[in-house]
Amino acid sequence: MRIVMIGSGYVGLVSGTCFSDFGHDVVCVDNNAAKIEELRAGRVPIFEPGLDDLLARNTAAGRLAFSTDLAGAVAEADAVFIAVGTPTRRGDGHADLTFVYAAAREIARHLSGYTVVVTKSTVPVGTNREVGRIIAEVAPEADVDIASNPEFLREGAAIEDFMRPDRVVCGTASPRAQAVLNEIYRPLNLRETPVLFTDVESAEMIKYAANAFLATKITFINEIADLCEKTGADVQQVAKGIGLDGRIGPKFLHPGPGYGGSCFPKDTAALAQTGRQHAAPVRIVETVMEVNAARKRAMVERIMLAMDDRVAGRRIGVLGVTFKPNTDDMRDAPALTIVPALIGAGAEVRVCDPEGRKEGEALLPGVIWEADPYAAAAEADALVLLTEWNAFRALDLVRLKAAMHGDVLVDLRNVYRPAEARAAGFAYSSIGRR
């Protein structure tokens, strides 16, 4: 199959590269000429484990190319995927569909022969219908079908998620489009991956409902963690106990400083807005958003309490600022709430993150960046573990404590055992544990 991917950001680049590894001919198109030149040179602009090797292999094999020429690419395509950004729109919380609709207009001008236009961007219900209307308006004679194919990629594990997904969701009313999508995803048949075909609106809703449910699980266990602290229960034992129930499952039951990233914040906001527009408010999701925002602020108070509310003029080391490990993504990361609040309270903050500095330097002005965790801890009055990178999971606690001026360790990811932290000399604080 000849596939065009409009947009070479996270979703477009990972999806296009993986499609080419399936054996399809893929052209990733982007209007950012500098990015395209970087990709042609084999330099990947985002950090995603394994993506650089996969890109190099398929580029060398001639199955993957990068271009700014949308017209030439679309004219030869069997399927054109829209994978542009849908950020939260200022003012109302809805998804900004400007880039999606602009892509639809550009695609319509260059269609040639039967083509399936597939929206992979996360979009509210009704968006694909509007994409179809735009294309019909611009190119009324075009032989085209519209489909929705939402992505379910976890940053840091995106290639595995694409190659071995739990399911593939395709929304279309056209048997011809279904045949094309079946052919595109045919390599997954060998692994017996479920490919679910639905109507377009259901496919759009599946994406939002899935992310909102996961965000709800995170927020639920965070509130249970607070209750555990008040009652003497251990949230890790509680999470294990309820996660063994097959109806619940263990994933996303890890307490922490709140969710962030490119998906959950904007998708919960968009789903809540859709509910309000249709007079069917999604009150659980609205509450999840409120609790998650409060959670990040509460983590600042937790750190200050651990330091006896004496933060001004003191040094704090922070381990990890990306919203999760194995990514350089800082979007809506808890660090963007916590670190500025500590600086605003007068603290000197030293940060170590394996991949966060590239984005973090602009987003976290005033911090001092260190190359390793022991340097971040040097002469610190307190140390905060904020992102659970593997590099922070087996630190020498005795050496860490010896490097510090103070003894406070605030572990917001429950990486360490309380007894071993205290044995190393720390005044240790974690989430939902005694």
Q: Among 28, 170, 228, 263, which one carries the catalytic annotation?
A: 263
- Nearest residue to 121 via CA among 5, 244, 285, 237: 5
Looking at the structure, tell me whether residues 167 and 243 fall in a common domain.
Answer: no
- Nearest residue to 329 via CA among 252, 414, 393, 263: 263
Residue 391 and residue 365 in contact, taking contact as beta carbons nearer than 8 Å: no
> Which residue ranges of the chain lie beneath pLDDT 70?
none
Looking at the structure, tell me whether residues 190 and 239 fall in a common domain.
Answer: no
Question: Which pLDDT belongs to residue 386?
Answer: 98
* Cα separation, 105 vs 123, whole angstroms: 17
Predicted TM-score (pTM) of the model is 0.93
Looking at the structure, tell me whether residues 299 and 150 fall in a common domain.
Answer: no
Beta-bridge partner residues of 369: 351
* β-bridge pairing 144-148 and 195-198: unpaired
Looking at the structure, tell me whether residues 298 and 434 fall in a common domain.
Answer: yes
Each residue's pLDDT tens digit, 134-159:
999 999 999 999 999 999 999 999 99
Looking at the structure, tell me whether residues 418 and 295 fall in a common domain.
Answer: yes
Looking at the structure, tell me whether residues 146 and 279 fall in a common domain.
Answer: no
Q: Which of 144, 169, 198 is the last residue of a domain?
A: 198
Looking at the structure, tell me whether residues 290 and 424 fall in a common domain.
Answer: yes
CATH number at residue 380: 3.40.50.720
Catalytic residue flag (residue 228): no
Looking at the structure, tell me whether residues 240 and 185 fall in a common domain.
Answer: no
Looking at the structure, tell me whether residues 184 and 289 fall in a common domain.
Answer: no
User: Listing from the earlier edge strand, what are the strands of the sheet with 25-29?
Assistant: 64-67, 25-29, 2-6, 79-82, 115-119, 144-148, 168-171, 195-198
Number of domains in the chain: 2
Each residue's pLDDT tens digit, 114-139:
999 999 999 999 999 999 999 999 99
* Cα separation, 194 vs 179, whole angstroms: 15
Looking at the structure, tell me whether residues 310 and 373 fall in a common domain.
Answer: yes
Q: Which of 176, 198, 220 is the last residue of a domain?
A: 198
Beta-bridge partner residues of 238: none
Question: Which pLDDT belongs to residue 190?
Answer: 83
Q: Which of 179, 198, 217 is the last residue of a domain?
A: 198
Question: Which pLDDT belongs to residue 223?
Answer: 97
Q: Which domain holds residue 144?
A: 2-198
Burial string for 200-233 (b: 16+ CB within 10 Å, else e) reads beebbbbbbebbbebbbbbbbbbebbeebbeeeb
Each residue's pLDDT tens digit, 39-98:
999 999 999 999 999 999 999 999 999 999 999 999 999 999 999 999 998 878 889 999
* Cα separation, 168 vs 207, whole angstroms: 11
Question: Which pLDDT belongs to residue 233?
Answer: 97
Looking at the structure, tell me whether residues 191 and 270 fall in a common domain.
Answer: no
Q: What proportion of the chain, given as a percentage, has pLDDT over 70?
A: 100
Question: Which pLDDT belongs to residue 188?
Answer: 95
Looking at the structure, tell me whether residues 165 and 271 fall in a common domain.
Answer: no
